């Protein structure tokens, strides 16, 4: 038995009981599976709420809306649904994913599975590792009853990641990445017979779609410390199996460690991709983008960070205003990545100064100011305001009075030129 209320506040427990009630009214059974059970048994914070229904989950979602309100998005083809819990209920999480218990078969290695409705036993057998193949009942008469037919609890106690059958990695090579991610996250190791099945599966890693491969790498980059995971992926040959092979060496590892000093409120996945590809030339980054289908922001950030890193000499020797003018056009995450990895010196200082001060500097004057001074609207406005901002960045002016004096001097010079 698993004492579910011990791990959840009422705000999370009530929606689960309502799911169970809706299932009971339809003669179906509901279970929490996978990550919830694993992390509860490990005494770790709970983040996953995967609910499996023995029966049609779409019917359960509709019953939940009828009985308790909210709305549902159903996918009849896949027998899945999302219940959007009424906002007035103030329950957390605000949505619950409902999945019908199913079995899966694979037509060929790295293919998406063919799915059929099945029992809880079928559903546990289709999972990746024994530690993720456990379930607890949500039914009122069996609330908290643990189903562990494959020995997941024992493997948890022994610190082992074990696949469910010898072809697991061949059927779905994304499991290679997940095996390493779980092992390093929890301080576990691959069971010896599981590690022995890694080499035969490596040839199928490159058959993964860009989206599936990128998703697994994103999950690793979103972990607290991806370095040990990437180390093990490289040691097992998994990282090199997708072409073009992503770089992994001591310099790359050092950049990841330097990135630990970045603010906690930044996009860690995007920044870590930028750190990863910082020393790669533009041609290689574009090749990685073609293989992994970066989104537009990530592609732009990676290319910009690499460009800044290649031009550190410029940022160390150019006047501050010229540095700022170039950086103004680039993503802030790219500048952060390059700054944290730049050697100590003028280049790093200027990149950091841009982020902390120069970026926000603006002249007091604006378009209305110039209009009131009789300057005809047109490109001249941009030229004057850019010159004033450059004066602030270079320290040429340090007060509104000094800026006004410079502006009057510029206008008088222009008038004399005429």
- The single residue listed with the structure tokens 């609207």 is 377
Distances (CA, A) of 252 to 25, 227, 255, 259, 267: 56, 10, 5, 11, 19
On whether the CB atoms of residues 175 and 168 are closer than 8 A, the answer is yes
pLDDT of residue 417: 56
Q: Give the tens place of pLDDT for each residue, 327-357.
A: 999 999 999 999 999 999 999 999 999 999 9
* 3-class state of residue 189 by DSSP: strand
On whether the CB atoms of residues 208 and 152 are closer than 8 A, the answer is no
Q: Give the tens place of pLDDT for each residue, 218-271.
A: 999 999 999 999 999 999 999 999 999 999 999 999 999 999 988 878 889 999
Examine the pLDDT at 93 and tell me if it is beyond 80.
no
Please provide the distance, in angstroms rounded to a whole number, between the alpha carbons at the two ends of the chain. Answer: 90
Of the candidates 260, 408, 243, the one whose C-alpha atom is nearest the C-alpha of residue 337 is 260
- The single residue listed with the structure tokens 């993964």 is 208
Prediction pTM value: 0.90
Q: List, in sequence order, every beta strand (DSSP E) within 59-201.
A: 71-75, 80-84, 95-100, 102-105, 114-117, 135-137, 146-147, 160-161, 189-190
Q: Give the tens place of pLDDT for each residue, 165-206.
A: 999 999 999 999 999 999 999 999 999 999 999 999 999 999
Identify the helix (H) or strand (E) that includes residue 38.
helix 35-42
């Amino acid at each position: 038995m698993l004492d579910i209320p011990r791990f959840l506040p009422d705000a999370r427990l009530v929606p689960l009981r309502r799911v169970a009630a809706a299932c009971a009214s339809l003669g179906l059974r509901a279970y929490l599976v996978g990550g919830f059970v694993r992390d509860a048994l490990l005494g770790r914070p709970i983040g996953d709420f995967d609910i499996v229904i023995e029966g049609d989950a779409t019917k359960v979602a509709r019953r939940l809306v009828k009985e308790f309100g909210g709305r549902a998005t159903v996918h009849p083809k896949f027998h899945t649904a999302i219940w959007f819990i009424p906002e007035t209920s103030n329950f957390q999480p605000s949505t619950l994913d409902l999945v019908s218990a199913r079995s899966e078969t694979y037509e060929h290695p790295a293919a998406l599975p063919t799915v059929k409705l099945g029992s809880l036993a079928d559903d546990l057998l289709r999972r990746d590792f024994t530690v993720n193949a456990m379930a607890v009942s949500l039914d009122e008469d069996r609330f908290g009853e643990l189903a562990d037919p494959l020995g997941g609890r024992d493997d948890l106690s022994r610190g082992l990641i074990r696949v469910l059958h010898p072809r697991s990695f061949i059927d779905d090579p994304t499991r290679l990445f997940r095996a390493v991610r779980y092992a390093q996250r929890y301080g576990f190791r691959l069971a010896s017979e599981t590690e022995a099945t890694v080499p035969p599966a490596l040839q199928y890693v490159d058959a993964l779609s860009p989206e599936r491969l990128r998703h697994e790498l994103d999950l690793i980059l979103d972990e607290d410390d991806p370095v040990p995971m990437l180390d093990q992926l490289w040691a097992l040959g998994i990282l090199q199996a997708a072409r073009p092979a992503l770089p992994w060496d001591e310099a790359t590892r050092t950049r990841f460690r330097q990135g630990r000093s970045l603010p906690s409120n930044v996009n860690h996945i995007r920044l870590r991709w930028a750190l990863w590809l910082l020393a790669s030339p533009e041609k290689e980054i574009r090749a990685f983008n073609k293989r992994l289908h970066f989104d537009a922001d990530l592609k732009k950030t990676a290319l910009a960070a690499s460009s800044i890193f290649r031009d550190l000499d410029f940022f160390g020797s150019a006047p501050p205003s010229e540095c700022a003018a170039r950086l103004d056009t680039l993503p802030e995450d790219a500048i952060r990545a390059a700054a944290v990895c730049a050697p100590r010196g003028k280049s790093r200082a200027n990149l950091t100064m841009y982020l902390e001060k120069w970026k926000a500097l603006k002249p007091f004057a604006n378009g209305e100011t110039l209009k009131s001074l009789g300057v005809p609207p047109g490109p001249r406005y941009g030229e004057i305001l850019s010159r004033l901002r450059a004066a602030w960045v270079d320290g040429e002016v340090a007060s509104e009075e000094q800026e006004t004096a410079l502006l009057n001097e510029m206008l008088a010079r222009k008038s004399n030129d005429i």
